[in-house]
Every structure is written in structure tokens, then in C-alpha cells.
Chain A
Amino acid sequence: DQQVKQNSPSLSVQEGRISILNCDYTNSMFDYFLWYKKYPAEGPTFLISISSIKDKNEDGRFTVFLNKSAKHLSLHIVPSQPGDSAVYFCAASAYSGAGSYQLTFGKGTKLSVIP
């Protein structure tokens, strides 16, 4: 089951440069996409989300882009900071009707920001 795929297990970026993390999905029923950040020994922390009716959402240094026709989304972090070093998970959800949203996660990309 590979409904959400993050094909790059790791990414290294210089401090101050842009980090671009990519995610692909296969299920056309997904209507929300989310990015989570995870440090070791902690739970995933919600970063930013985007509805399937939009193609861009921005929050400070974080921007998520959605290309529905390509079933692809990306997270841009600019400028990257050493504190951004973590594992980033892409997640997608389809509303089930009862108010709850089941999240389907990718395997994650480990981002290292080099000072």
C-alpha cells in the first residue's frame, strides 16, 4: 500500500538556502494534505496543510504547493535553519463523513540543515 510516497529518504541543505521536500499520492479521493515534522523521541508536529481546492498555502517560512493533475505536493522551507533538521512526513486524508479524518502517511524525508 503506497498511497502516499516520499521518494527521498534524506535531504541535506545549507543553512539559509531553500529546502524542497516532495510527496506523491495515488488516491484521487484525498481532499486534504498535511506536512508534519518529527524530532527523535517526539510525536509528529503539525506544520501546514492544504485543501485539494487550492494550489498553494503559505505560513511564514513554510509554503506547500499542490499539483492535483500530477498528484504531487511539495513543501518549501525558506530560509532553512539548523533547527529545521528533522524527519518530515507528508500525510493525506479523505473525509469519512463522521467528522474524523484518517491520515495516510508517507515514509518521511530526513532533512539535515548544515550550518
Chain B
Amino acid sequence: EPEVTQTPSHQVTQMGQEVILRCVPISNHLYFYWYRQILGQKVEFLVSFYNNEISEKSEIFDDQFSVERPDGSNFTLKIRSTKLEDSAMYFCASSGGGPAAFFGQGTRLTVV
């Protein structure tokens, strides 16, 4: 069964450092998303991406965040200068169109 894969599963970084979280969406999907879940809180939408551009972003997704689809298979989330409050589980998701998105297993980001 096709699935969304994310790497790494756990990333520890120092405050102020840049991190790149990587995702391989399901191959025939066209819509890509990043969500995050801070410990004990809800899963929150960050950004959606279609046709090589951002289609929607939340107010969490400020200038420190960027997304890219560098080739035909990868989808990345970059945080330029990490803060302690960026510590969370980051989920990549994809869909072929329609509201049901399929999620990866997540990357746990810990900023120290």
C-alpha cells in the first residue's frame, strides 16, 4: 500500500540552527501539506502546496518557514532559525484531490 514517508524520524537541533524536514509523498498525489502537533495540543495546519507553489498557509507559517519540492519525489519543510517553541511533531501529508489527506509517520523535532 502506498504511503507517505518522512525523514528523519527524530531531529535534535540547537536553537538558531536551520533544519530541513523531508517527505516523500504518495507518488500520484498532487497536493502536499505540512502539519504540526506540539506535545499535548491539537494537530495544526501549517501549509498546503500545489503545482509548485503554496496554495494556503496558516499564521504559524511565518518567514522562518519555507517549503520546496526540489525534484519529482521529495517535499521539504525548512525552518531557518529554530526556536524552542518549534519543538513538535511535524507531519507531512498528501492527497490526490479531495479532503482526505494521507499522513506520514512524523518527524519529532526537538530544539535545545
Determine how close the nearest CB of chain B comes to the CB of A4; give it in whole angstroms.
Answer: 8
Determine how close the nearest CB of chain B comes to the CB of A6; give it in whole angstroms.
Answer: 10
Q: Does A74 contact B (CB under 8 A)?
A: no
Determine how close the nearest CB of chain A comes to the CB of B46; give it in whole angstroms.
Answer: 10
**Nearest chain-A residue to B33 (Cβ)?**
A100
**Nearest chain-A residue to B44 (Cβ)?**
A105
Q: How many residues of chain B are within 8 Å of chain A by beta carbon?
A: 30
A105 cross-chain contacts in B, Cβ below 8 A: 42-44
Are B45 and A102 in contact (CB-based, < 8 A)?
A: yes
Are B43 and A34 in contact (CB-based, < 8 A)?
A: no
Interface residues in A22-56 by Cβ distance below 8 A to B read 32, 34, 36, 41-46, 49
Q: Does B104 contact A (CB under 8 A)?
A: yes
B95 cross-chain contacts in A, Cβ below 8 A: 101
A88 cross-chain contacts in B, Cβ below 8 A: none
Determine how close the nearest CB of chain A comes to the CB of B103; give it in whole angstroms.
Answer: 4
Given the known inter-chain contacts A46-B100, A100-B50, A101-B99, please indicate yes or no for A89 contacting B43, CB distance below 8 A.
yes
Are B106 and A43 in contact (CB-based, < 8 A)?
A: yes
Are A99 and B31 in contact (CB-based, < 8 A)?
A: yes
9 interchain residue pairs of minimum CB distance: A43-B103, A100-B48, A98-B55, A32-B99, A101-B99, A105-B43, A100-B55, A93-B99, A44-B103
Interface residues of B (CB under 8 A from A): 4, 6, 30-31, 33, 35, 41-45, 48-50, 55-56, 58, 91, 93, 95, 97-106
Interface residues of A (CB under 8 A from B): 32, 34, 36, 41-46, 49, 89, 91, 93, 95-96, 98-108
Question: Apart from A96-B48, A98-B48, A101-B95, what 18 extra A-B contacts exist at CB < 8 Å?
Answer: A41-B105, A41-B106, A43-B105, A44-B43, A44-B91, A45-B103, A95-B99, A96-B55, A99-B30, A99-B31, A100-B55, A101-B48, A101-B98, A101-B99, A102-B45, A102-B48, A103-B101, A107-B41
